[in-house]
Amino acid sequence: MLEFVEEHRCFGGVQCIYEHESESIGLPMRFSVFLPKEASSSKVPALFYLAGLTCTEETFPIKAGAQRYAAEHGIALIAPDTSPRGTDVPGEKDAWDFGVGAGFYVDATREPWSKYYRMYSYVTQDLRRAVLAELPIREDRLGIFGHSMGGHGALVLALRNPDIYRSVSAFAPIAAPPHCPWGEKAFSGYLGDDREVWKQYDASELVREANASRFENGILIDQGLGDQFLAEQLHPDVFERNAQEAGHKVTVRRHDGYDHGYFFISTFVGEHVAHHARVLCR
């Protein structure tokens, strides 16, 4: 059951935070949800947003300004936390890019992380089931997007679960995690050293085999060319090349001067919501 935490009126709807018990993680988890005014009388489409390193369930609703656009289209916005909290796993708070705030949307298989760090199952199963059971959300109209680590997560979850998510987009995603320091650190720590195992969470590999006709509106990626992490960590060109070779409709928009932060996201988030609305609101 969902435990109500807080609620605020917002663009004719409500911005809320809920807490619930997660079977996959074994601990309480929090998520935010914006419900447009239409949700007071009927079920609405929903767009899941996965945030990046160090973020919480509050980062996106506070910083992105997406509620205005979601209200225009009658879409709910759902944003989970980025990792379990309170696990007491040794070392989980030692680094900003691994452990707390850095779950990478994988199901860890390496001890001691495997007991709690199961964000892939949390988002695709526990969170989805909870909102469908207790909130006015349409099961057949779900999309997903995210930023950085969350952009990686959104691409992976969508490509692996096309029966769940009908649309997908990303801001500055970590598009080829095995080929960057952030991804190598996270995958080796959570999954072990077998790079074949890593491929199940590598969007640039998954897109090779994914059904190219599944996402009818294509895959949208926005990337700032002033992003300080672009060259070393993100590699959108790898994903773009593999997607095009596999016949996917992919649009990677590159923007001069924009960096990796929420000023960038807030500039283009309206276009991302519209991208999803063209599929979810038909």
What gap in Å lies between CA 92 and CA 112, rounded to an integer?
10
What gap in Å lies between CA 89 and CA 98, rounded to an integer?
12
> Could you tell me which of 73, 79, 82 has the C-alpha nearest to residue 15?
79
Question: Helix (H, G, I), strand (E, B), or coil: what is residue 185?
Answer: helix
Alpha carbon distances (Å) from 9 to 19, 37, 70 = 19, 10, 14
Active site residues per annotation: 148, 227, 260
The vertex-66 CA angle with 61 and 68, nearest 5°, equals: 115
**Residue 220 contacts residue 160 (beta carbons within 8 Å):** no
